[in-house]
Structure 1
């Protein structure tokens, strides 16, 4: 059998002080243990501002409308730009690309060019929203988004959604993590609205994963200190 490790961020639980005064079962299910983490780790190489192949860029050269245009980075990670030819873009920031274009235009074609490069579309950077939202599906991530913004992108939670049962699935540090959140508590300011990254899966409402992890049913929605759990599953 292969062992899978799942770390779970349970941000929908009781306060530690309440635990001390009224002990409740936490991490009592087989294979569950508390770990010393206070937030979901960020995914490696998230690269929200890094250009990849198939991305669409908008290049603007101030005062030269005929040079300003939208371009798609091809499968090799490059694109052709008027007058100067091939620009390698994959793995670079828009600022680095704009500087190269400006340097190659300067003197020969344009005097002191002012070039800006904006990321317009990154088809490989998506989040998946499922469960009790009005419009479940996959959505592009064009910048930093929080959990509340992601749920709103999916049309908002339905009337039957359980707001204290919202999960973020994430792969990071060679593990699979699950953050358990209470949207109502976030809206009340009990804890920060977490950032959601490309590649994450957000599940709103009844979750088979949450039902399987029975010890989470003992948690209250007012936690301000996260509890991180590590689960080892045998398959």
Structure 2
């Protein structure tokens, strides 16, 4: 019986070794795969919301006030799905990809054209809906998270409550779209944690995926079936996984 278990364990260990191959990134002809340090920075038009400054995007809520005009005071307006708002005396304007300051200038120009003398316009972003990053794969809480201020890969992973026991730390990919072109870069999270190279910045609309260590997952299944062989398999799998 012990001999049969040993033979089966050896076979499973061989399978583990086959799972530990080098990760290959890419294959999609529409995807440009670059070195990790070369991902381009998104332009304002690439973002539903940006980072320092914030660019207005679909479904964001704005508070717009024109000083001294009661009909235009403290109006809460939601940006529609096409990035546009409708405002009295101005009509429909496109605000997507613009900062709050840009919207102020645009409204001021339009109100002047409507014969309002020296309009004092204030635009504040009341609710940020469009500035998000998607975190997927082997993290404790995959999901969509708001990008507040400057965000980095380590901070985004922490926002998702960190990696889990099956995370493959050298298989972390950031997907980004710039000017209609999709890009991807492969990172080693453990190397970043140890200062081997800089923690990359994360922007709105990025998608971060953390790979699955199949060898560790299979190893846990082995322990459930063969608990008596735990110690020698732990040593072997640890060597294989690293």
TM-score interval (norm. to shorter): 0.5 to 0.7
TM-score w.r.t. the length of structure 1 is 0.57
> Deviation at 1:95?
1.0
Does the 8 Å CA contact 2:166/2:213 hold for their aligned counterparts? no
Cα RMSD after superposing both structures: 3.9
Residues 1:4 and 2:29 are matched in the alignment: yes
Does the 8 Å CA contact 1:129/1:202 hold for their aligned counterparts? yes
> Deviation at 1:69?
3.9
Structure with more relative contact order (C-alpha pairs < 8 Å, separation 6 or more): 1
> Deviation at 1:151?
1.2
Partner of 2:62 in structure 1? 57
Give, in whole Å, the separation in 2 of the partners of 1:6 and 1:111: 49
Q: Which has the higher helix share?
A: 2
Residues 1:74 and 2:80 are matched in the alignment: yes
Partner of 1:28 in structure 2? none
Q: Which has the higher strand share?
A: 1
Aligned residues: 180
Partner of 1:39 in structure 2? 38
Give, in whole Å, the separation in 2 of the partners of 1:146 and 1:134: 18
Does the 8 Å CA contact 1:122/1:141 hold for their aligned counterparts? no
Give, in whole Å, the separation in 1 of the partners of 2:120 and 2:126: 20
> Deviation at 1:112?
6.5
Partner of 1:89 in structure 2? 94
CA separation of 1:199 and 1:98: change in aligned 2, threshold 3 A: same
Structure 2 residue runs without a partner (length 5+)? 1-26, 215-241
> Deviation at 1:172?
4.2
CA separation of 1:176 and 1:77: change in aligned 2, threshold 3 A: closer
Does the 8 Å CA contact 2:133/2:205 hold for their aligned counterparts? yes
Please list, as runs of the form range in 1=range in 2, the aligned pairs for 1:27-176 lying within 5 A after superposition.
Answer: 38-43=37-42, 45-47=45-47, 48=50, 49-60=54-65, 67-75=73-81, 77-81=83-87, 84-86=89-91, 88-91=93-96, 93=98, 94-102=100-108, 113=120, 115-118=122-125, 120-123=127-130, 125-141=131-147, 144-172=150-178, 176=182
Q: Deviations over 1:168-197 (max 9, x none)?
A: 123446654321112233233332221223
Q: Secondary structure at the match of 1:151?
A: helix
Does the 8 Å CA contact 2:137/2:211 hold for their aligned counterparts? yes
Structure 1 residue runs without a partner (length 5+)? 12-37, 209-220, 222-235
TM-score w.r.t. the length of structure 2 is 0.56
Give, in whole Å, the separation in 1 of the partners of 2:92 and 2:202: 31
